[in-house]
Structure 1
Amino acid sequence: MSTFIDSHAHIYADAFREDQAEALAQAEAEGVTKIYMPNIDHTSIDVMLETEARHPQLCLPMMGLHPTSVQKDFEKELYLVEEWLNKRKFAAVGECGIDLYWDKTFLPQQQEALRVQVALAKKHQLPIVLHTRDSFEEAHAIVAEAQDGTLKGVFHCFTGTVAQAEKVKELGFLMGIGGVATFKNGGLDKLLPHLLLDDLVLETDCPYLAPVPFRGKRNQPAYLPFVASRVAELLQKSVAEVAEVTTRNATQLFKLA
């Protein structure tokens, strides 16, 4: 049986309040061996760390500030992120980045918050996990400016163009591929054949973006094999090879022993 790493999952979210243990057991039964949990803001830290405490071998936390939580008082949120990064080990700095889908009001603040978190990733020698919804060029510019060869990370939920994928590769970053790959009009059917497995990690972004045939329902890590199957189909590889290479990529990115 193939094993997988879910590189981006909000398994601590309210959507799993009633059955988190069952969802995690289902994930393990489907071969998911590690689940990386991106932070959102101060409201998600406790429940995320409680999830880690209950499942320390399976659920590994990141620390960061999500761009949709960046508002006028974002400095206070970033102080908390920095405090936690100084206090203990995390798998990555994230989820951070820029989001121009919902609201463009705080773009300057989002840009500053991303610069700060990129600097924190370099300081703590951690990978950075980037959210770039409708904002690839803006986020890429900040990361590219800071790249000195030491910065690693992943453009999570990547749905960009072939040219943007080349920019990600030039940075030495990976692309996170999730349920959108299975969507009829998701666009990844045109992109993925141009990519290499060496440049990809798998993710669910649960509870969001459930793959076909579960689209519209709550997503969960147990559905990761459906993403792997679609990636395998589009790249003309076996599911076993997709699992092996993306697991290796995630392991190296997050520096698992």
Structure 2
Amino acid sequence: MIDTHAHLYDVHFQEDMPFHIKEIQEAGVTEVWLPNCDLESWTDLKKLSTAYPDFVHPMIGLHPTYVKENYLAELAALKSELEQTKVVAIGEIGLDYYWDTTFAAEQMDALQQQCHWALEKGLWVDIHCRKAYTDLIKTFKLPEFKELRGIIHCFSGDAREAKVLTDLGFLLGIGGVITYKNTTLFQDIKDIPLSHIVLETDAPYLSPVPFRGKPNSPKNIPLIAQKLADLFEIPLTELVQQTNQNANKLKATSGY
């Protein structure tokens, strides 16, 4: 199984990384893709991806909630790193209006700049979006982003937004939320072809049941996969084969 989105460089894992890597691999996880947050997190992310090059794959980008007054300087520094580092994607980038919209305009500028990086480099994008799907879709419908592809990480939109985004060529990242009792997530994605879905944990966040409230880990991907297989009423092996195929096909577009 492939975890397409996990912050494995987080402080929660750093004290005993070999132990965590062993646990994750023993759970049947073959790859973990690492989304970046800002210039500071990039240091730890790059170090981890260098130490385990066959197991963890780096992305680079400025997370929308880290877009502040100094965002242009952060972008310039990350762009410089991009020029000298091989990455699987640009991410995680996007829009987040959940807590604060003070820097909404700057978030949009950062998103569009980084989408252009992806197009220039032949990379896909890993998208973070909360309470901003209208603006995100409007942006991705612009002619300049017609060729853009990627993953909508931790998809939290409605059924219409799921269809629009997958029609535009994006995959939906599904994680621990699918196991929550009161979620409507499956109702919103049930008509989406399985060819547009990938697995993720967003570790150490959003742990699946029965570990909700505890730090998440890529080792929990089997719980998410099993829940999705049950909901789609298909064998687990079929679910894993298809989501792996989707992830590998996207990764190949980056030449990684």
Task: List aligned pairs for 1:52-131, cutoff 5 A.
Answer: 52-131=49-128
- In the other structure, the counterpart of 1:160 is 157
Shift of 1:136: 1.3
2: distance between equivalents of 1:214 and 1:131? Answer: 23
Counterpart residue number, 1:246: 243
CA 147–236 in structure 1, closer or farther in 2 if over 3 Å, else same: farther
The reply on whether 1:34 has 2:31 as its aligned counterpart is yes
Match of 1:143 in 2: 140
SS at match of 2:239: helix
Matched residue of 1:102: which SS?
coil
Q: Is the 8 A contact 1:176 1:201 kept in 2?
A: yes
Inter-partner Cα distance in structure 1 for 2:27 and 2:199: 14
Partner SS for 1:95: strand
- How far apart in 1 are the matches of 2:248 and 2:144? 21
The one-character-per-residue Cα deviations of 1:54-104 (angstroms, maximum 9, x if unpaired) are 211001100000000001110001101211121121000000000111211
Alignment length (residue pairs):
254
CA distance in 2, matches of 1:140, 1:63: 22
Q: Structure 1, unaligned stretches of length 5 or more?
A: none
* CA deviation after TM superposition for structure 1 residue 234, in Å: 1.0
State the alpha-carbon separation in 2 of the partners of residues 122 and 156 from structure 1: 19
> For residues 182-221 of structure 1, what are the structure 2 equivalents within 5 Å?
182-221=179-218
State, as a whole percentage, how many aligned pairs show the same letter: 37
Between 247-256 and 189-198, report the one with greater CA deviation: 189-198
The residue type paired with residue 25 of structure 1 is: K
189-198 or 239-248: bigger deviation: 189-198
The 1:146–1:102 alpha-carbon spacing in structure 2 relative to 1, beyond 3 Å, is farther
The 8 Å contact of residues 99 and 132 in structure 1, kept in 2 or not, is answered as yes
Q: Quick one: distance in 1 between partners of 2:103 and 2:90?
A: 21
TM-score (norm 2): 0.96
| Residue 149 of structure 1: how far off its partner (Å) | 4.3
8 A Cα contact 2:91 2:125, kept in partner = yes
| Dislocated runs of 4+, deviation >3 Å | 146-149
Q: Are the counterparts in 2 of residues 118 and 128 from structure 1 also a CA contact under 8 Å?
A: yes
- Local SS of the residue matching 2:130: coil
- The 2-side partners of 1:128 and 1:154 are apart by 7
Task: Give the corresponding residue for 1:180.
Answer: 177
Distance in 2 between residues matched to 1:91 and 1:28, nearest whole Å: 20
Cα RMSD of the aligned pairs, angstroms, is: 1.3
State the one-letter code of the partner of 1:65: L
Structure 2 partner of 1:6: 3
Write the distance in 2 (CA, Å) between the matches of 1:154 and 1:147: 18
Please report the TM-score for the alignment, with normalisation by the length of structure 1.
Answer: 0.95
For structure 2, list consecutive stretches of 5 or more residues without a partner in the other structure. Answer: none
